[in-house]
Structures are given as structure tokens and as C-alpha cells.
Amino acid sequence: MEAIEELAVQPCTSSLYLRPFRLSYRQNGTKKFWDFMRTHDSVSILIFNTSRQCFVVVKQFRPAVYMCEVERHHPQVFQSQDKESFSSLENPLPAVVGVTYELCAGIVDKPGLSLEEIACEEILEECGYRVSIADLRKITSYRSGVGVTGSRQTLFYAEVNDQMRTNGGGGQPEEGELIEVVEIPLEESMKFAYDETFPKTMGVIFSFMWFHNNIAPKLPKK
């Protein structure tokens, strides 16, 4: 996961996932414009293993996070972003600066499947647990990247146990995925949520709080 080599930045002229646009409009009599991206909606799943009383999250390298750190240290990398030539970095930062902890998640790009079906597929592929639609509970949906993409993410909750795990997870290597499955013990979860030394998404923090408010009070007392 952390063997990053031959780092280079160049303009993106086409993408399977992002489409850039500029919207011009008039608001309260003032002419305005806004640049935005169209991208896929997504699902995410808070997974709780009842056998070991822990949350199951994923850990992976995120190029966008990595490049934010690269720019802080090497701002010249983006100076040629609008040119045909690309900028290379001979001494890249360690890949760990781009590794984040996240909920199991995936984009909604299969028109024939429901959000629940996509969520079940992602749980199996990324974390190795086989769950059914009946095992899912919808928590809520919300907008993410409101300044750039405005896409909708739907958050589910799923309880699993050790018997439901059929493989080691890790994503689909043929699609370039390299995912590590991580277990966060329930008793350490809120400390983990607020520990900035573990880079994480807001989905992790929000869902852990939701669990402690809605599920934890109903758990059997030790």
C-alpha cells in the first residue's frame, strides 16, 4: 500500500468518474458563475461485528489526500497543471500521508441494482462479510462535497458476526483496489474518532456518534 513511485501530475482531459462544468447564473440581480464536478452518488456502511464488539472499517491510500500534503511541501508540482507537460516529483513524500480510515463504501454506478444491493456487494468485496438486504438498516442520506460535487451519499448500518465472514476482503485487485480491513474496538471507538493522528472521513466520526447514541444503549451490559 505504501510503495508509491514515479509520481507525476498532469492535466486530466477525460475521466470515468468526474466531469467538470461551469455554471453561470443570476442571483438576486447579481451575475455569478460557479465551477463544479458531476460525479457518482455513493453508499457507505457502518459495520459492527457483534462477535468481537468492534467496528469494521477500511484503510486505503487516497491520491487526493496525498496530493494535498504534497502541495503543502512542494507547491511547484501544480504550477504546470494547465500545460501539456507534466510535473514530476523525484523525492515523493511517504505514502502514509495519503492513507485514510473510512467506512466501507462504493459509488452508485450500476443502474440495475438498488442502493441496498450495492451496499451488500461493497461489504463482501471490501470487508469479506456476506450480508443480505434484510441485514441493512438505513441511517440517513446527505450531500457531500457541496462546494464541488454536491453528490448524495446514503449511509447504512449492518451488524455482522464472525460466521458471516467468507473471505478476507481487500477490494478488487483487478480494479486497482488495495484495501486493508481494520477493526476498531467499541470501547476505543470515540477516542479513535477524535484522534487526529488517524486521518479519517467525517462519515467515520458521524456514524460512530450515531451508534453510541442509538445502538450502544441497547447492548447487553457486561
The counts of H helices and E strands in the chain are: 4, 11
pTM: 0.91
* C-alpha torsion sign, points 170, 173, 174, 175: positive
Single-letter residue type at 65: V
In a domain, 117, yes or no: yes
Query: pLDDT of the chain along its 222 residues, tens only?
Result: 567 777 777 778 888 889 999 999 999 999 999 999 999 999 999 999 999 999 999 999 999 999 899 888 878 777 765 555 456 666 678 889 999 999 999 999 999 999 999 999 999 999 999 999 999 999 999 999 999 999 999 999 999 999 999 998 887 766 666 899 999 999 999 999 999 999 999 999 999 999 999 999 999 876
* C-alpha torsion sign, points 186, 192, 198, 200: positive
CA 63 to chain centre: 12
In a domain, 84, yes or no: no
Q: Which long-range contacts (CB under 8 A, 24 or more apart) does 167-170 make?
A: 167/124, 167/128, 168/128, 169/58, 169/124, 169/125, 169/126, 169/127, 169/128, 169/129, 170/126, 170/128
pLDDT at 202: 96
In a domain, 69, yes or no: no
pLDDT at 214: 98
In a domain, 4, yes or no: no
Query: Could you tell me the residue range of the domain that residue 164 belongs to?
Result: 22-59+98-215
In a domain, 177, yes or no: yes
User: Which CATH number is 103's domain given?
Assistant: 3.90.79.10
Tell me how far apart the terminal alpha carbons of the chain are, to the nearest angstrom.
38
In a domain, 211, yes or no: yes
CA 5 to chain centre: 23
In a domain, 81, yes or no: no
165 pairs with which residues across the strands? 129
Domain count across the chain: 1
Classify 29 as helix, strand or coil.
coil
In a domain, 203, yes or no: yes
Start-end of H helices in the chain: 63-73, 115-122, 189-194, 202-214
Calculate ∠ Cα 105-212-119, nearest 5°.
20
C-alpha 141/C-alpha 154 separation (Å) is: 4
